[in-house]
Structures are given as C-alpha cells and as structure tokens.
Structure 1
C-alpha cells in the first residue's frame, strides 16, 4: 500500500494525560469490507464502537523512528454497526516520546520528544454496490484528555476510570512522517499467558506482597468491587532482599507506577500503553484497606512478541529443567519487539552484544526469523555511512565509538538467522550492512589487519576482572581483532551463498589471521583461549583448547569468562575432546555457574552470576537485573552437543541434519525437540541397564553419529544403543 496519510495532533498541549482522538461516521449503503490503516507518534490503542481493534500491544512497535515507522492494517468489518460508528484512539508516549534511555539523552531523541502526540489513520470502506469511501484523520476529528492520566515506558501508568473523554477540543494538521512509513514488518506484541497469584505474604516491614511465582514481562490485571474514588496502587519487584522485604533499588530511576482510581461497582482494568518487569507486587493502597486484598483480585498478563515456540529441552535433572525454563522466560521477557537487555529498569534497550550472544539460542527456542528481520533492518538503517554500528538498536546512545562483539551483531545475527531458517533473503537484506561493518573496522584501526586503538566493552562482566572493573582481564585488542576475523569470515560465507565476489575479503581474512597469530602466539585468559580456538585463529587449536581445560580445572572447575567468552566456552571444550569438563561446568551448582541462580530461586537468567550472593545480599543496586537473557545462550550447547542437533552450513534451515549426542552419566535422560522448516526433529537419550539408548527422529536425510560411528539415514525414527563406558 502506498499510504500518504494526514497527521493530526492536539491543537492545545494536553500535558501528561494520554490524548484520546475520535470521530464518528454513518453510512447508508451495505458494507462488504472495512479496513483501518493506522500509526502514531507514540503507542496507540484503537477502539471502534467500544471494542478493541486488533491484539497488538504497544503498537506501532519500536523502530528507528527517524528512518522507519511501522503502520498496521486491520480488518474492522465485524466491528461496524448499521448506524452511527465511533472510533477512539488513545495515544501514549511509548518509546517514541518517553525519555529514553533513563540516564541520558541524545540529539535526535530529544527532537522526537519535542514533537507532538501524532496520529495518522484511514478507514477504507467497500460497499456492496462496488463503490468505496475513504475516511482519513483530518480537522473534523476531535481530541481530549481521557482516563490515562500518565503513561511512560519507565514510569508506568496512572488511570482514572471516572474520567470520560469529551472529545471537545480541536486537532491540527501537521507535517508528520510520511516517507519513513513502512507496513508492519516485525511480529506483533501480544498478550500471551495469564498467571494467577502463587501466594500472598506480609514482609518483616509489614508490607503485603503478592508473588506470581515467575519473573516476567507484562502487566497486572485488576478485578475489584469498589466505590468511586477508591484507589489501587501497586509497586513492582523482581526479588525480595535478604530479610525478606520488598526490593526495588535495582529498578534505578524507573518509577514503574501502577495507580488506578476506581469507579463504582465491579471493574476490571490493566495498563495498555506500557509494560513492567516483575515477579512480585506490593499493595500500597486498596479499596477497603490492605486486609481486603485477595489473590483473585490480580492476574499477571505475560506480554511479548508473538513468536512460535519451536525448541524444547527436558531432562531427568530438576535443576537443569529449571535452567531451561529460565532461558525461555528470559527470552520471552526480553523479546518485546526488540531484543532488550532487561525489561524492568530505566534501560530496556536493544543491546547489540546481547543479541549476537543469544541469537543462535533464540532461533532454536522460537521461530525468531521475522523478529530478527525487522530488528536487523533497523540496525542497517541506524548504521552510519562509514559502517559504524551502535551499541543499541534503535541507536539511542549514539556513542562515538563502536565496540567489538557488540557491533559484530551486524555480521553474526544475519548469518545465524540464515543457518536456522535457510532463507537467503536475510543475507540479501543485510549483506551490504555486513560488508560496511568490516569496512568500518578496516578504516578505523590503528594497526593494519588487526583492530586496535578502539574503545570496547571487552569481556564484559568477566569473572577475572581486576578489582573495580566491569571488564574481564582479556586483552581488548585481542578480543576486537578476533571478532574482526570472525565477522570477516561470516561475510565471506554470506557472500559465497549470494554468489558475490569475495576475493578481496578472502585476502583480508588471510592477512588478519596471519597477523593475529604473529601478534598473539600465547593466551592468558579463558576467554582468549575460547576465542582463539572457536574462531580457528590459533595455530594449534587443540593445544589451545587443552590449555583452556587446564585453566578451568586449575581454578576449581569454574568458568571465569564474561559476555564475550561464555557463549563459546562449552563448545570449545566439547569440540576438542573435553565434553566431560563441559558437563562439569553446566551441572555445577556452586557460584559461579548456570545452576547457582537456580539454587537461589531464579526463574529467569540473571545479569550477574551472583546477582544474589551466598549470604543473600545483592551484587549491586546499580546494574543488577534478574531478567537478562544473554547467559542463557548455553542452551545452544544443550541442543547442539548434549542432544547433538547440529545445523549444517551446507544445508541451512536443517534441510539435512547431523545428530551426534553426548550423554553424561549424571543424567538418566535428556530430550531435545526442534520444529524446523523441514519438519520435527527429536533427540532423546536414556540409560538402559549398562547402555545408552538413543531414540532419534529426523524429517530429512541425516547423519546420526553414535560413539564416533556415522549412520546415514533417510527421514524416519531410529533407535541406537551404545555402551555407557564409551559415551
């Protein structure tokens, strides 16, 4: 559709309340079809004759607004009446006009926030006689404030149910965005699940708290019988402190308000223009007093991008199963139109480093192709002419220096999405962006064929960090140069798939590897070993992996890696004959480990391994999210090595597949299932007497590798056995 809309905004500033735009229309002829096309500068909720239009929460979604603004189309035929029809659209600040990020501003975001609360809409009517009519936003529409008295991303929502929109104020037409409009590209954000209260308790401080049993992203629905003017006021938290009291300091500047002013009688309400990250709610005010609170008054509604679940992991180990659940909930909580780092504090940004770390796991757990297609299009839009890629997308930070392993999302994410789903279009869409990223590194480095002289996050949150530093001890130029090589290799592979000339890139890659090997013949940290071996940069990758294994054992069989090294750590160990040690790390329950947070009651992945320390105190209040999905990337090792479901570069999208399981005697069984573009894959192993029994189902031709023996099979279900001594 080539849409050239008319934008309207309130003629007079309405202040904090969300604007409610509206008009009415009648028609004499019988309608056969009606369609609403709509977008906003903010987030909107449209209602026609009192009924909600569509299920998109936080529409029109979050894009790089200065270059791309989505609009939606809805079939509204069934919402029309034969008489007078009334449409109302409430527009809140959303991502477009909220003060994001919470701790600083940037020039273009300041400019966007200064823009008016804009709406553009069009209703297309088709009549039975074949004629048609278009009704567009224009000066005949009216506006007023309404029941949403305040709404922002970080600071929550205030709602007065007694406030009825009067639609008595004029609108004005203004020059809103037109050439940046695009039809909905990403997945819609929708309500997905409803969670009942698990328990109600009173804290040592005397506060009444409700526990939903799961850290999540969304909002709380209220059901109450009240009097006009009664209030419901809630606060949100992810964890309780060591004394068992309500804890909100890790939300930093995010107020996360939930304030509802009641009308008379039985009523149901939930926020509609914002979202929260939480497990617990504190009752600050309630009709009749706190003693009147009942669990059935509240339901938590889970909200995230509408992706299909495709991957499933389960085992005989209850703690491992909780980890699998935490990984899924971490993805759900942070895949709300963009891959955010966290959903609760004054941040909630699309960090590129987190996305590239997790992309492979993301595309195993869910069909995330459409989700990443849209986000990567924003990455390409925000990419500078010289190839710079920001630390977050949409790029609100506008940091002057790109960081390795963060900007490398430009190359890593498209390639992993292609491997997962086998669609060349993602490479076609992103290939120029991928190349520009390599060009940026090449043009900004201070050492030819390496990446030096930059400002980077390094091995962020590495456990071998010097005192007072968030960065691990790995050499930052080493990390940057390793990713320079890795991303270049991915662009070569993508170019080969697309039949592009990659000769210059191939020469560049050879020079990078040769220079890297001369510059860093030895490795000093776990992460340096991991990158050198996994990216095939070491002259002797086996020796490097052996060194890594020695390092892991020498420090008490513990990982010391951060954001950069952790995603590949277990892969390097298992790729070079140390699968038993990889299992040791995965099944470790003491800090630091994937299972340590489980021992502390975690229901999502934490930002820090010790977000809650052994004594119950907190790592910090400044940067301590309990819903941070990045370390959940370990699931791709469980799918790909433990269960053995391996993607193949020569058969992307699992058009052919290799199944090579690696069982461990500490588990009685493990099952992985994956729905692919070519059908359902299942890999299950279990103990049976002194043998391992493998039950494997493949929808395509496959190589099934048991104890090093390859069995080439057709589509079907198969059973194999092996001696546990050999596994």
Structure 2
C-alpha cells in the first residue's frame, strides 16, 4: 500500500471552526507499513480562497507534529486550507495529502464584537429555582447568504436555535471558565439554516456555573447574579459584503417550558407551556474580559445506554438500572395523561431494599421533573443540568413504564479514544473499564473530582496524579491546555495555584489561599506531562511565568526550604482520621513536591532556552534535597512517619542519595509487610506505589498489590460490583455497607492512576522522548497472566505491545509507528534467547543493540516484529 499522510490536525484539532491562534501549528501522521518508514523532509502549503499564502518549501527535518505556521499574518473570519507532502526514508517524495482546513475566529480577545451587547431577561425577583429564558431576534434577508457564522457565548449556559432548528449538538455551552478573568465563545456554521425572507435567531439561557448553585456549600451567584447572552451573526452576502446582526435591546425575551434549571438541583420541564408573552431584553454592561474561541472538545452525547433491569421496590416507584455508573442525562419516552407530574431521581447505588441511595449527594437535589402535555408519546431530555448515576427512579406514573422508557445519554467532553489495554484477568480488565468510565464521567468540561454531589469541582490534586493515565486512554492535549489556562487564571497574587480550577474557593472558602502540596503543584506538573505525552512546548511557554511564580511562592513561604502543607496530606489514606489525612507528615509531602516541581522547572527552563533560570532552579533543587534529607531521613534510610507514602515520595521523586535507596526500598517493603502486603496509601501515595516498586526491581510485589481483591486494594471495588473508580477504598463494604456519607463518591477517578502502570509495565509501553518520538517497549509479565495487550495512538501513529505466554514460550508482538524508534527490552535473561519471526534477531535488518537500566535491549526502526523467547 503506498505511503499516505493522514490525521491532519491544527492545534491538536481536526478542521477547527473558529480558531484564535495567530500562529497555529500543524501535525500529520505517516501511514506506511514498510519497515523503517520515516520522514526525511516535508513541505507545507497554506491557502486562502484558492491562493497559496505560505509555502514552506522543502524543510529537511523529521518533524511531523506541531509545526508552526510561518506565513503572513492570518486574517480573522477566514477559511484556510492546508496540505502536506513528505520525502520518505528512501528520499522519495510522497503525493500531496488530502487538504485539511481551519477557520479563524476574531483573533483579538479584547476587541468588542460588532453589533453585539450583553443581554438578559429581567426578573422581578430571583426565584429559588430560576427558569431558562428564551431570547430571540427576527430579521429579514433579501437573499440567502453566501456564508453565515454565529459567534456566541454566555455568562451561564445556552442552547442556540435558528429558524426553530437547534444548532450543533453541544451541551452546557460555552462551558466553564473563571468568569472573573476569561470567557470562551463558540462558532457555528449556520449558512444552511438561513433563507431569504424572515429568519429567527434564538437562544435558551440558564444559570450554569456562572450564577447557579455551585460549590460544596451550595450557594449561588459565585461569579455573578444573573445569566447573560452575547452573540453576533456574521453574514457574507453574494457580492462579498459583510453584515452583522448581534444581541442588543431589539431582542425579545420570554419564558417557556423549562421552569427551573440548575446543575445541582436539576431541571423542571412543563410540556404544557410555550413562550407566549415577549418583552424587551435588557442590555447589561460588564467589565471587558478576554474572549477567546473554545479550542478543545465540547460536551456531547457520546453513547447511549439501554435499561438492563426494571424493578419496583415500593408501590409507584420504578427503578431503572442502566448497568453502568455514568454521567449525563436520560431520554424519557412516556405516554401519560395531561398534567401528570413525573419525578426523576438519580443514584449511583441501591439500598438493600432496592430503593435508590442518595445520601451521598449531600446538598444537591439532583432531581428532574417532567409534566406531561398528554395526547401521545412524549420525549424529554434534560439539557441544562447533568447527573452522575447508574440508577434512575421514576415516580408519579399511574401505570408501570416499559423498560425502554429510560435511555442513558452519556455526556462528556468529546475526546478521541487513543489507548486500549486488556489482559487474561477479567477483574483487571474490569478495573481498566472502571478507570476509563471514571475519566469519561469526570472529564466534563474540566477534570472534576466527582460528577454527582454538590461539588463537581476541578480539583487540582486529582488531575495531576491522573493525567499520565488520562493521556493513555484519550487524547487530552487540548483539554488540558484549556484547563492549565484555568489554573493560571486562578493563580493567587502570592503565586500559589488554586486547589480547584476554575477557582471557586475565592467565594466559598476565602481563607483557602491555595498552594497546597500535590494540589497547587498541578500548575507545574500538568503542563509538563502534556509536553511529555504530546511534545507541546507552547503549553510550557504560555504557562512558564505562572509556573515560576509558583516555585517562588513555595520558596518564600518555606521555613529553611521545608514546605508546610496545611490542608489535605495523603488524602483518604485507609488509616486516615476523620479530618482526612493519615500518618505521613504533611511537611514531608510538601517538601517532596517542592523538590519535584523545582526539578521540573529546571528542565522546562532548559527546553525553552532560559539558561540562567535552569541553573537557578537546579541549584534550588539541590538545596531542597539537602533540607529534605536533614529533616526527614535517618542514616539507615528511614523516613519520618515510616509510612508507605513517605518512602514512595522519597524514591519516586529521587529525593535520596543513591546509597540510601536500597535501605529506603527495604523500609518500604517492611511498611507493606506490616499491612500484610496491602496498600495504606491515599491520593498522594497510591499513584506512585506500583511504578516505584517496578522501578526498583520489585514488580513481583507490585503485582501482589494489584491482585489483592480484599480491602484495601484496586480489585476490592471491582469484586463488589463497581463500574467506576470509588473515592474511598471502603466506599462500600459487605460488613459495614456505605462509607462515611459526607464524602463518598462512587465515581472518583484519582485511584485510577494505576492505569499508567498497566500500560507501561504489564503491557510495556512508555515514552523515552516527548510525544513518543522514542518509545520504550518493556513488558514485565506475571505468572498469573497468560496474555496482555496495549495499543496507543501516539502523535506519530499507533504503537502496540502484545504478549502471550504458554508453558514454554512467550510470543511478543510489537508495532513501532513510522517516524519513530523504539528501545525494546525483551523479558529474557539474554538477547541470545530472542528470536524474531522464528529466526535469530540478528537476521532482521536494521536492528541494533543497546542497554536500558543495565538490561540488554534492541533498537527497533518502525515496523512490526514478532518476538519469541523462553517463558521463565
């Protein structure tokens, strides 16, 4: 099959409409099954209106990701096409690719929008449950436009319509940012919806994150006290002239069937109602804020789940089981008399009597109501709220509903699935499924801690421990680029990053000044991880000053470089007190993370060419290590607190002199043995547990921890029916039932960080260079497993590692994508035991030898290889 260039992307996105990047970057993949396939050079062309505006000419480089535009300044509201061709490893030029495109937005975050003002529906008084408002404008066109774009945003959430037709399939738009600092807008192509004659532009507007009930103190109006809409329609006439129609005082507003809409409390819909009395909308004035195009996946319905069981635990109560803890909404299809009020409640678990368990929702009502119009089949989908649930309870019906009356609509940010993992153990496979579902449910606009109770916040600690796993499962490059902007927006004047992003504590917990160890450090760790996984240096440069201020804050507020931690410690460790932390000293955790982010900053400074800063960060890092060892480490390698997490931090973050590492490892093993080889770690320690053991030669012990199916361990929830990750190791136990009700989520992804280890140790895929330009293939099989397979669609293409074991032989099949190289470490005592395609490996052209961690390795050019070696 001839070489093809595929998966062309602009700023990680496929054909983005409305892009506010003045220097966009281009990426492509090489589809070429030949061994050794790679790129020697490329040529990139960008065109507008069929005229080439930039031709890179031939560039002798193997770069195929995030190549920056270098032509004349881009124009706003313009469609650009681009194509690529390369010269392959033989020096042969490829055919030109099929063109991709991007379209610019305003390209000026502070410029006022033409013909547009903020508008809202005035209310006489703020009701307890605020309805969704309809806002609309009717206008006349002499002819259908040649081109039409709707630019729209809100302080709140909106749903757009043109001529009665919903535009797009996005939910909860424009999403959530820190409305004190920045807003995002969406762009829609509405050319096909507009006609000659009268046209109507309309939007429904609800509170959303802006002014609805939000934050775990369940107060409203955190950012403002009323929702508002801003929109402008750009029309290009047949002669090329441009006309703008925007939100202003000429718009009308009314109320309709959505009589209440809130993210926590739910939605109330009266199907008997329709907008009737229209009154003038009111214009509002707000301080000028940056307004940028939304440049990552939008929240959409990704999947639908059918009911697997329908029960009636009490008279008139019908409980639908969707078989999977999920996030989103439902589609209700029902026939009932006019005026029938159906109450819909949501739950993750059932009580012993079969009724829904809702105590863990705390102050969130999480209830939708639907009042039937009557007269036939009715369909209802809530759209200004979302829920976390497996079970749906209906009350108010006079007759038993059909099982298909409820369908689960799975919502999350539209991310491309990139990684797969499977093995011979069904419990581990279910664990992997739980990790993915936990990520799907909580990667809804921002990386939330949980999706169901009165919280749903972008907790930074959860995100930073999970981001390596997240990047295996899904393409999260643009998702985290946006979220790191939220982090920077919320950075305190002191330099401390907030504990949640977008920041909400400024209003509900003002004495929380951020900078908490392992939480505030996400502002450094997450951009660094995105760079490692996707090769994106721009996320480093645009966050560099904020990251540096965070290190300066920690240095300034430390005592002799010992960093205090005042909030969370090793959050929810099994031996934790009711206050939330266990025996690992909080200042040890704080100082360990201080050292880690300072080391990262030295690397970031070096990559960005800030040589003086790199030297300064390296020197500071050395001083922090010395302070750490003086305060927390004994001469025999014992750590203060003598906890599993203390040793994991010291070993995992390279905080100890090399001579003390064997002793610290022995002390870690002793700490595990003290717990009968079970974990005793929380959010901080758990992600390090198996990676540290494997790094220091104890993969056998890491597997023992993995395979424990009693409390506490990863497989304990799996064995007890979990379909997502739990917040606590004991969120439910057979002998005690439900755990502490004040904080007991059954969809909380942090402990899913074990997923990275399944990919890079069990299956054996990890990166040796950013974006997997150089790949490490090093599976470490276990006798309990007969096979394991992982695939990852990297920025260069799909890498895979699959091994199968028989009594005598391991067969290991790997695929190295074009334009990369791989370092393969076979699970063999000697390379002399290794064969490729049943022949000695030396017979395969292009392979050479190397070492990795003092182990023999093979350097593999792109291609597919089938290894066989003895099973030992």
Pairwise TM-score range, normalised by the shorter structure = over 0.9
1:182 to 280, 283, 292: 292
Query: Which residue is 2:250 aligned to?
Result: 140
Q: Distance in 2 between matches of 1:130 and 1:571?
A: 60
Q: Distance in 2 between matches of 1:104 and 1:451?
A: 32
- SS of the equivalent of 1:282 reads strand
Map 1:109-508 → 2, pairs under 5 A: 110=221, 112-114=223-225, 116-166=226-276, 168-203=278-313, 207-264=317-374, 265-286=376-397, 289=398, 291-398=399-506, 399-445=512-558, 447-452=559-564, 454-465=565-576, 467-501=577-611, 502-508=614-620
C-alpha distance 221-616 of structure 1, shift in aligned 2 (>3 A)? farther
Shift of 1:102: 3.2
Q: Distance in 2 between matches of 1:353 and 1:203?
A: 39
- SS of the equivalent of 1:292 reads coil
Q: Distance in 2 between matches of 1:339 and 1:585?
A: 27
- SS of the equivalent of 2:364 reads coil
Q: Distance in 2 between matches of 1:49 and 1:153?
A: 28
Query: Which residue is 2:675 aligned to?
Result: 555
Shift of 1:460: 0.7
Determine if the alignment matches structure 1 residue 622 to structure 2 residue 742.
Answer: yes
Shift of 1:616: 5.6
Q: Distance in 2 between matches of 1:633 and 1:705?
A: 24
Determine if the alignment matches structure 1 residue 509 to structure 2 residue 656.
Answer: no
Shift of 1:614: 2.4
- SS of the equivalent of 1:226 reads coil
Q: Distance in 1 between matches of 2:278 and 2:360?
A: 42
Shift of 1:428: 0.9
Q: Which runs of 5+ in 2 are unaligned?
A: 1-105, 507-511, 829-854
Which structure would you say has the larger Rg? 2
Q: Distance in 2 between matches of 1:177 and 1:333?
A: 34
Paired residues of 1:222 and 1:298 also in contact (CA < 8 A): yes
- SS of the equivalent of 1:26 reads strand
Paired residues of 1:203 and 1:246 also in contact (CA < 8 A): no
1:675 to 793, 797, 811: 793
Shift of 1:407: 0.4
Q: Distance in 2 between matches of 1:487 and 1:619?
A: 34
- SS of the equivalent of 1:622 reads helix
Shift of 1:208: 2.1
What's the CA shift string for 1:419-458, capped at 9, x where partnerless? Answer: 110111111111111111111111112x222213x41311
Q: Distance in 2 between matches of 1:471 and 1:478?
A: 13
What's the CA shift string for 1:327-381, capped at 9, x where partnerless? Answer: 0000000000100000000000000000001011011110000000001001011
Q: Distance in 2 between matches of 1:10 and 1:494?
A: 48
C-alpha distance 305-616 of structure 1, shift in aligned 2 (>3 A)? same
Shift of 1:13: 3.7
Cα-Cα RMSD: 1.5
Q: Distance in 1 between matches of 2:445 and 2:401?
A: 34
1:684 to 794, 798, 802: 802
Paired residues of 1:151 and 1:274 also in contact (CA < 8 A): yes
Shift of 1:88: 1.8
Query: Which residue is 2:696 aligned to?
Result: 576
Query: Which residue is 1:715 aligned to?
Result: 862
Shift of 1:177: 4.9
- SS of the equivalent of 2:604 reads helix
Paired residues of 1:418 and 1:426 also in contact (CA < 8 A): yes
Shift of 1:133: 1.4
Q: Distance in 2 between matches of 1:401 and 1:65?
A: 18
Q: Distance in 2 between matches of 1:630 and 1:326?
A: 12
Q: Distance in 2 between matches of 1:410 and 1:30?
A: 48
Shift of 1:711: 0.8
Paired residues of 2:807 and 2:871 also in contact (CA < 8 A): no
Query: Which residue is 2:139 aligned to?
Result: 25
Paired residues of 1:21 and 1:89 also in contact (CA < 8 A): yes
Paired residues of 1:449 and 1:508 also in contact (CA < 8 A): no
Q: Distance in 2 between matches of 1:256 and 1:110?
A: 19
- SS of the equivalent of 1:84 reads strand
Shift of 1:292: 2.8
Q: Distance in 2 between matches of 1:189 and 1:675?
A: 22
Q: Distance in 2 between matches of 1:721 and 1:317?
A: 22
When structure 1 is superposed on structure 2, of 227-236 and 380-389 the one drifting more is 227-236
Paired residues of 2:457 and 2:501 also in contact (CA < 8 A): yes
- SS of the equivalent of 2:601 reads helix
Paired residues of 1:701 and 1:713 also in contact (CA < 8 A): yes
Q: Distance in 1 between matches of 2:315 and 2:455?
A: 29
Query: Which residue is 1:528 aligned to?
Result: 646
Paired residues of 2:319 and 2:355 also in contact (CA < 8 A): no
- SS of the equivalent of 2:427 reads helix
Q: Distance in 2 between matches of 1:533 and 1:85?
A: 66
TM-score normalised per structure 1: 0.96
What's the CA shift string for 1:539-558, capped at 9, x where partnerless? Answer: 22232123212221232110
Q: Distance in 2 between matches of 1:468 and 1:342?
A: 20
Q: Distance in 2 between matches of 1:400 and 1:658?
A: 41
Q: Distance in 2 between matches of 1:217 and 1:13?
A: 35
Determine if the alignment matches structure 1 residue 40 to structure 2 residue 163.
Answer: no
**Runs of 4+ with >3 A deviation:** 11-15, 204-207
Paired residues of 2:809 and 2:870 also in contact (CA < 8 A): yes
Q: Distance in 2 between matches of 1:12 and 1:213?
A: 42
Paired residues of 2:271 and 2:371 also in contact (CA < 8 A): yes
Shift of 1:206: 7.3
- SS of the equivalent of 1:603 reads coil
Paired residues of 2:144 and 2:195 also in contact (CA < 8 A): no
Q: Distance in 1 between matches of 2:593 and 2:313?
A: 48
Q: Distance in 1 between matches of 2:300 and 2:112?
A: 25
When structure 1 is superposed on structure 2, of 265-274 and 477-486 the one drifting more is 265-274
Q: Distance in 2 between matches of 1:60 and 1:372?
A: 17
What's the CA shift string for 1:179-198, capped at 9, x where partnerless? Answer: 33221133211110000101
- SS of the equivalent of 1:604 reads coil
Q: Distance in 1 between matches of 2:134 and 2:181?
A: 26
